[in-house]
Each structure stands twice: as C-alpha cells, then as structure tokens.
Amino acid sequence: MSSPTSSTTGRQLFDCRDAYMSALEEMAAADPRVCAVANDSLSSAKLKNFKEKFPDRFINVGIAEQNMVGVGAGLANGGMIPYVCGAACFLTARAMEQVKVDLAYTKANVKLCAMSPGMAYGQLGPTHHSIEDLAWMRVLPNLTVIVPADPVETAAAMRYSLIHEGPMFLRIARVPVPRVHGDDYEFRLGEAVRLREGSDVTLIANGLMVCRALDAANALEARGISARVLNMSTVKPLDREAILDAARTTHGIVTAEEALAAGGLGGAVAEVLAQEHPAPMRILGVPDVFAPTGTAEFLLEHFGLTAAGIERAALELLQREA
Amino acid sequence: MGETIAMEMPPTGPERAAWLKHKANWIRLSAMTMNHHAKLGHTGGDLSAADILAVLFLGGILRVNPAQPRWPERDRFILSKGHGAAAYYSTLAARGFLPVEQLKTYMDPLSMLNGHPDRNKVPGVEANTGPLGHGLPIAVGAALAARMRKESWRVFVLTGDGELQEGSNWEAAMTAQHYGLDQLTVIVDRNRIQQGDFTENTIRMEPLAARFAAFGFAVEEIDGHSTAALFDRLSHLPLESGKPSCLIANTIKGKGVSFAENQPAWHHGVPTKEQLATAAKELDVEGAW
C-alpha cells in the first residue's frame, strides 16, 4: 500500500488504522473466537473488508454505543473475543458507564479499539475530538490502556491483545505517523520502550507524540543536550521503574500526549514522581480548553504539541536559553 | 456437563405450581431476612421477582450446573434489575450455587454478597449489574455468541419496569430484532412501582406490550405470580420462531406480605423483626434460615 510522505521531513507516513485492520483480519482468520462489533461507521473503523471476510463474526449495532459495549460484554460472556470498534469520542464518552461496569468491573475479555482519537477529526470540532479519553480510561481498575506510536506497534499491540485476558483500551491513530519501531519490534505490556539514550532530560511520549519527541531529541542534541526518549505506549499498567529511573538519572521529565494535559499520561507520571521521587517536570497536552476550529495538524501546532514545543519545554526545564 | 449437584426436582402435574410457590415464598422470606440483617436492600422488588426466579431456577427451566457455574453451554440468566440481589442470591443458594449459610453475610464487610451482584465473586452470576439498562445489551451479546458458536444455549434477562426508561434497552431491542435472536427471552417484572413513585406517574410505560411488539418481539403478558403460568410459558419458548420473546410479567411490588404490597416506600424498605415474623406467617414459611 502506498503511503503519503511528510512534506517537511520526506518520511513515509502511515495511517495506523491500516495496521489495526490487517492485524484484526489475520487474528480472525486464525482464531474463531475473534469477532468485531461496530456502530455504523464501517469505513472510519476500516471494517468493510472484515465484514465481507467474516460475515458471521461481524455485528453492526447501528448508532448505539451503550448497547455496543454491552453487546461486547455479552459476546465475551459467551466465549468470543470481541473487538469493539468505534470513534474514540463516542466509544468512551457515550458508553462510559458500560465501559466501567460491563467491562472493567466485570473483567470482561473485550478489546475496545478507539478509532481516530485525539484531535484527528480536526475541523469537525470538540464534539468529535477525544482528548479526555486517557484520563477517563486510565482511572478504571482492571482496564489496560495502550496508545501505540506507529503502525508496527499498533499491529503488535493488537496481536498482544488476543493473548491478554481481560478488558483493554487501544487507541488507534488516524493522523498519519512515520515508523519509529523496526520490524522486529515486540510489544511488552507495561514496559516503556527506550528509543533513545540520554542523560540530561527525559522525554516521555506516546501515540503520535513519540516521533515528535524523537525529533525534539535530535534538535536538543544539536544544542549539546542529551535527551532520553521513552515511548510510554502502555499508560496502564504504568512502567514506574522507567519513570523513577528517569527521575534519578536525568535532570527532569517532559511528557507529551495528544490528549488533555490533565489526567492522562502526564498525570500518571506526575503521580509516581510526586510520591516517590519528586523531579522537575513539564506536561505537554491540550490545556484546559476545548479546541478551536482547525485541522489536526493545525491544532497540534496551536497547542505546541510539536517537536519544537517539546524542545522548548525541555530547555525551560533545564533553565537553558531557547 | 461434568459433575453435577443434584437438583431437588419439582413434582410433575398439578402439585408443581404449589411446590414452586412454596419455594418462591422461601426466597421471599430469605430476602427479607437478608435485608433485615443488612439494614439495607430492596424488599419490594425482591418480593415481586420471587416467583419468576423460583420457576426459572428451581422449576428446571434453566440448563445450569452449580458444580460448573461457567459450563460453556449453559443457559445464561442475567438479572438486569441488579437491586433484586437478595432474592437472586437466595435463589442461587436454593439451587446449590452457594451455601445457604453464605446468605447470612449479605452486605457484611468483605462479603462476596455485595448489594448488587458481582460475577467474579458469586457463582452463577453472569453479569455485574446495578446501574439500570445494562442487562439487555449483555444478553443480546450472549445470544449473538451462541449463534456465532452454533450453540443452543438460551439467554434470559429479567428487567424491572422502571428500568425500561433507560434508552440502552431499546438500542439492544433493535439489535435483538435485527438479528432475529429467538434464543433471547426478556422477562419484565412489571410491578408498576419505581423508586420514587408509580411508573405511570413518573414516566408512562404503557402501552408496554405494544412497544415491545413494535420493536420486533413476540410478546405475551402473564401473571407474574402464577407459578403455573410462568412454568407453562417458560417451557414453551420462543413464543415465535425467529423473534426474541418478551414476557411481561404483571406483578405486585412487595407481593406476599400485606404491609409491603403496592407501597412505593417498600422499594427499599427494610423489615423490622416484628415485620419479619408477620411475613413468615403470611408466607407460610417457618423462618428462612
């Protein structure tokens, strides 16, 4: 499949939904327990092909997210492994109580595929943005929360989800991203991936912010600053050791996520640091506002969720001149 | 099916209804005793649902196995009105899923018997319910799983009537119709009272049968306190091939105990010791346990 390239970096870019879809179809072909549940949006959830290949294992409940999640719980009760796929904004907010009770509290073996999260829907506005989801999902006991950084990790996390018993929330990115992981990448739950060594500052990111953190680390290197980069794709369970090690061995931590700055990845990292090893920190995310009108790329720029924004935060943290 | 715990079989013929009624009355007194013990509970709805629960579990309608609560091919029963927990736990104990002794711990600190059921703690419980409008979507999912796996298990869900004000039920009803889930049976405990008032003074539920019919269910109204009628209808499902079934069980909240019958205040009323004694006499049960 041909992929677009970035106009600024020339890198090939990928829609992680393609990787999710291929992985799901492979898993369904190999395991008769795998099924998919959708809420009308077959094309945005990339399920058209799945429906054709596995018509008996595809359920479309229509525009009914509360029911969709409950149906997922019932399918799991009946021994199936349902992948419940829908736009992240509706899947979480509309069905929050079903996610809490039917999945998390029940420990139902249901996988939520939250499509087009963050500000992927750009100009469609805050109704369609899903920047609250990380805060909402990560506080639920029993629920595993994963935010893959690229297509390789998306596919690996999908394959992992099949062997993991219990409810899981996977954020499937729509905004095109370059690859940050090699073909031999293996997903390990709860382990931050150290993508770059560094001793001055640590950049912790997930999702589409990971490649931006790597770019920021390159820019910092040019200034003589050594930045460690951690891909914290598992938000829950959190890799406390990697965070504490970063606090002990570097001079501060910058977190970056395509979500509200309150309650998400940055909040999770801050909870560990505040109680176990206080360290200087900056949390990059969407501030306490609903986004204005603009494309996803415009909004990421608007909120400083860029390599330059991460670089700036690291310099501030180290009290260095920009 | 593996190891089984022998079920006390109901008599056949005309004695069956009375036998089941006696079991239902034991469930009633047991639930009231639990609520008295916990100083908390939902007595009215426990009493309205008792006959339905007795017929399903003790009348041999449900194909379940207490020795293997997660036997894959079992019938699924989901108590969507999760606040009817005391009656439900009593029923599960009577069917052998848990020791009757356990009922004495209802809502005690760290007891497995929470005020609303938890499937990870209580054998026989299929879904963690309590917030209303959750049971039917889960039941639809379990029925779809049966179809995908080409299994013959059936799914029963017991809802309250006020509960049907939650929109998620009607989302699930549309799915049940669309997929023609005739292995699914919804039983509505139509006691006409919700927490604050009578249902019809709150948000009108009628014409309830017509509503379910319009959503594609085969519907029948029955006397939810006639163990004979319940046994008969539940033995002949689906009501119509290719359609989900809906039994609207007309019940009386607080049924069987004069001071609690049809009183909104008994939605979560808790009986005193004296009231328990009166109830035992009226229910003709010599103490639950």
Identify the pLDDT of residue A321.
72
Q: Region B173-192: what's the mean pLDDT?
A: 98
- Confirm if A218 and A254 have CB atoms less than 8 A apart: no
Report all structural domains of chain B as residue ranges with CATH numbers, in order of start. 16-283 (3.40.50.970)
Looking at the DSSP bridge assignments, the partners of residue A56 are none
Residue A50 C-alpha, separation from nearest chain B C-alpha, in angstroms:
15
A101 touches chain B (CB under 8 A): yes
Q: Region B113-140: what's the mean pLDDT?
A: 98
Judged by DSSP in three states, A259 sits in: strand
Q: Region A190-199: what's the mean pLDDT?
A: 98
Q: Test B145 with A71 for CB contact under 8 angstroms.
A: no
Q: How far apart are CA A149 and CA A117, in angstroms?
A: 12
Helices A151-163 and A16-30 cross at an angle (nearest 10°) of 30
Q: Test A70 with B137 for CB contact under 8 angstroms.
A: yes
Q: What are phi and psi of A22, to 5 degrees?
A: -60, -45
pLDDT tens-digit map of A268-321: 999 999 999 999 999 999 999 999 999 999 999 999 999 999 999 999 999 987
Q: How far apart are CA A171 and CA B28, in angstroms?
A: 48
Q: Region A257-265: what's the mean pLDDT?
A: 98
Judged by DSSP in three states, A210 sits in: helix
Instruction: List every span in chain A annotated with CATH 3.40.50.970.
Output: 16-172
The two structure tokens encoding residue B169: 């039920």
Q: Is residue A2 predicted with pLDDT exceeding 60?
A: no
Lowest mean pLDDT among A1-5, A136-140, B237-241, B259-263: A1-5
Q: How far apart are CA B255 and CA B247, in angstroms?
A: 19
Residue B19 C-alpha, separation from nearest chain A C-alpha, in angstroms:
33
Residues of chain B contacting residue A69, judged by C-beta atoms under 8 Å apart: 137
Helices B168-178 and B135-148 cross at an angle (nearest 10°) of 20
pLDDT tens-digit map of A120-133: 999 999 999 999 99
Q: Is residue A258 predicted with pLDDT exceeding 80?
A: yes
Instruction: Tell me if the pTM is above 0.90.
Output: yes
Instruction: List every span in chain A annotated with CATH 3.40.50.920.
Output: 193-317
For residue B265, give every residue at least 6 positions away whose Cβ sits within 8 Å of its Cβ, in sequence order, or none: none
- Confirm if B129 and B117 have CB atoms less than 8 A apart: yes
Please give the mean pLDDT across all residues of chain A: 96
DSSP per-residue string spanning B17-46: HHHHHHHHHHHHHHHHHHHHHHT---HHHH
Exposure of A200 in the CB half-sphere (CA atoms within 13 A): 16
The chain A residue lying nearest B153, using CA atoms, is A78
Q: Region B188-208: what's the mean pLDDT?
A: 96
Q: Region A226-235: what's the mean pLDDT?
A: 98
Q: Is residue B29 predicted with pLDDT exceeding 90?
A: yes
The chain A residue lying nearest B116, using CA atoms, is A101
Beta-carbon contacts below 8 Å between A and B: 116
Identify the pLDDT of residue A80.
98
Identify the pLDDT of residue B2.
53
Q: Test A66 with B133 for CB contact under 8 angstroms.
A: yes
A106 touches chain B (CB under 8 A): yes
Q: Does the CA dihedral A176-A182-A183-A187 come out positive or negative?
A: negative
Q: Test A64 with B171 for CB contact under 8 angstroms.
A: yes
Q: How confident is the model at residue A1 (pLDDT cuts 50, 70, 90)?
A: very low
Q: How confident is the model at residue B4 (pLDDT cuts 50, 70, 90)?
A: low
Q: Tell me the residue type at A191.
A: E
- Confirm if A227 and A255 have CB atoms less than 8 A apart: no
132-191 in A: which are within 8 Å (CB) of B? none
CA A238 to chain centre: 13
Identify the pLDDT of residue B223.
98
Identify the pLDDT of residue B106.
98
The CATH class given to the A16-172 domain equals alpha beta
Q: Is residue B1 predicted with pLDDT exceeding 80?
A: no
Q: Test A75 with B145 for CB contact under 8 angstroms.
A: yes
Q: How far apart are CA A147 and CA A20, in angstroms?
A: 12
Q: Test B141 with A66 for CB contact under 8 angstroms.
A: no
pLDDT tens-digit map of A148-183: 999 999 999 999 999 999 999 999 999 999 999 999
Please give the mean pLDDT across all residues of chain B: 96
Q: Is residue B6 predicted with pLDDT exceeding 80?
A: no
Q: Region A83-98: what's the mean pLDDT?
A: 97
Q: Test B148 with A69 for CB contact under 8 angstroms.
A: no
Which residue, among B190, B54, B42, has the nearest Cα to B117 in the 3D structure? B42
Q: How confident is the model at residue A5 (pLDDT cuts 50, 70, 90)?
A: confident
Q: How far apart are CA A111 and CA A69, in angstroms?
A: 10
Alpha helices in A140-195 (DSSP H): 151-163
What is the CATH number that goes with domain A193-317? 3.40.50.920
Identify the pLDDT of residue A41.
85
Q: How confident is the model at residue A21 (pLDDT cuts 50, 70, 90)?
A: very high
Q: Which of B72, B119, B140 faces A71 most closely, judged by CB atoms?
A: B140
Q: What are phi and psi of A60, to 5 degrees?
A: -110, 115
Judged by DSSP in three states, A83 sits in: strand
146-205 in B: which are within 8 Å (CB) of A? 146-149, 151, 153, 155, 167-168, 171-172, 174-175, 178-179
